[in-house]
Amino acid sequence: MDYVSVEDAKHKAGLRLALTMGVPGPWSQAAKYIFEHKSVPFIAVGQMGARENAALYDWTGHRNAPVAVYEDEAPRVGWYEIIMLAERIAPSPSLLPHGAAARAEMFGLITEIASEGGLAWQRRLQMINIMYAASDDPKVRQTPDVLAARYGHGPAGAEQAGAVCDDILAMLADKLRAQAAGGSKYFVGNDFTAADLYWACFSQLVAPMAEDLNPMPMRLRVVYEAPKMLTIDPILIDHRDEIYARHLSLPLDF
Ligand SMILES: N[C@@H](CCC(=O)N[C@@H](CS)C(=O)NCC(=O)O)C(=O)O
């Protein structure tokens, strides 16, 4: 991925997308794939994970990623508003299913995966714990310190994180099994939607793909793969492998 600085991006027209550089941040990866899927061109702006990102903050009011800035509109940071921005800019191919009930189902699934308190949020609490346990060196603890301050962290929260993640993973697996029984390979209806895209990207947090497909830094892979803490039904991994193979580009690019 070619990144430009905030300085070089902020006066440009069109879509500017701040994405975390050098690591497969799942919210950033999902935002990138949404626009790629719709062939919407964007300028990628580099955000540095767990850093101050002062220029990004001055421009958008946010230090983390993703941030989508379209023309002179207000910056969008939440996964829902980023999906809806993409749907407005390029309605086709749509990542939404037809009908309100199916949409509600799809957004509910992504909420469990990507919203505050959901799978990735809880998984991040586990990872902050792993990072803290790895070293007492204040320099090494800088990253978990920033993440803990940004996303909330405490021993009690981290302890219940595994159970919440397992519950959500089991729900996703049940959903795929029910869909398969009805002849569908997708989470909702019979077509590829944002729910499939989000699960594929966020699956990297609980079962990262091999080095050749997900060339993430080893220091991070060690944390992502730390003693298997979660129960992951193989149907979830089969689904994400198929989604990448059919709909998303590989290897991961960050
Ligand atoms: N704003 C996103 C969540 C963004 C988020 O949690 N970003 C993380 C993971 S990609 C991040 O930037 N972490 C590194 C940092 O805080 O610098 C949403 O609510 O949909």
Q: Going by DSSP bridges, is the β-strand pair 15-20/42-47 parallel, antiparallel, or unpaired?
A: parallel
Residue 206 pLDDT: 94
Residue 227 has pLDDT above 90, yes or no: no
Q: What is the mean pLDDT of residues 200-222?
A: 96
Q: What is the mean pLDDT of residues 174-190?
A: 98
More confident of the two residues 140 and 30: 30
* DSSP secondary structure code for residue 80 in this structure: H
Residues in the chain: 254
Give per-residue pLDDT as tens, 88-104: 999 999 999 999 999 99
The fold adopted by the segment(s) 100-247 is Glutathione S-transferase Yfyf (Class Pi); Chain A, domain 2 (1.20.1050)
Q: What Å distances lie between residue 6 and 43, 44, 47, 65, CA to CA?
A: 10, 9, 9, 13
Domains 6-89 and 100-247 share a fold: no
Give per-residue pLDDT as tens, 5-44: 999 999 999 999 999 999 999 999 999 999 999 999 999 9
Q: What Å distances lie between residue 193 and 33, 73, 74, 233, CA to CA?
A: 12, 26, 26, 21
Alpha carbon distance 34, 36 (integer Å): 6
Q: What is the mean pLDDT of residues 56-81?
A: 98
**Choices 3.40.50.300, 3.40.30.10, 3.40.140.10, 3.40.50.620: CATH for 6-89:** 3.40.30.10
Q: What is the mean pLDDT of residues 46-56?
A: 97
Q: What is the mean pLDDT of residues 152-173?
A: 87
Q: Phi, psi at residue 16, to the nearest 5°?
A: -115, 130
User: Which residue's CA is the nearest one to ligand 1's atom 9?
Assistant: 25
Cis check for the bond before 144: say yes or no (omega within 30 of 0). no
User: Which residue's CA is the nearest one to ligand 1's atom 4?
Assistant: 65
Nearest Cα to Cα of residue 15 among 82, 93, 91, 110 = 82
Nearest Cα to Cα of residue 64 among 32, 30, 19 = 19
Ligand 1 site residues (CB inside 6 A) read 20, 25, 27-28, 49-50, 64-65, 77-79, 114, 150
Residue 66 has pLDDT above 90, yes or no: yes
Residue 2 has pLDDT above 80, yes or no: yes
Q: For residue 89, is it left (φ>0), alpha (ψ between -120 and 50) or beta?
A: alpha
Residue 154 has pLDDT above 90, yes or no: no
Q: How far is the CA of 184 from the centre of ligand 1 (A)?
A: 31
Q: Where are the domains of the chain?
A: 6-89, 100-247
Proportion of the chain in helix, strand, coil states, percent, rounded to 5: 50, 5, 40
Q: Going by DSSP bridges, is the β-strand pair 15-20/67-70 parallel, antiparallel, or unpaired?
A: antiparallel
Point out the ligand 1 atom lying closest to the alpha carbon of residue 65.
12
Alpha carbon distance 14, 12 (integer Å): 7
pTM: 0.95
Buried-state track 11-27, b at ≥16 Cβ within 10 A, e below 16: eeeebbbbbbbebbbbb
Alpha carbon distance 117, 47 (integer Å): 23
Residue 3 pLDDT: 98
Q: How far is the CA of 254 from the centre of ligand 1 (A)?
A: 14
List the structure tokens of 82.
Answer: 């980023």
Residue 134 pLDDT: 87
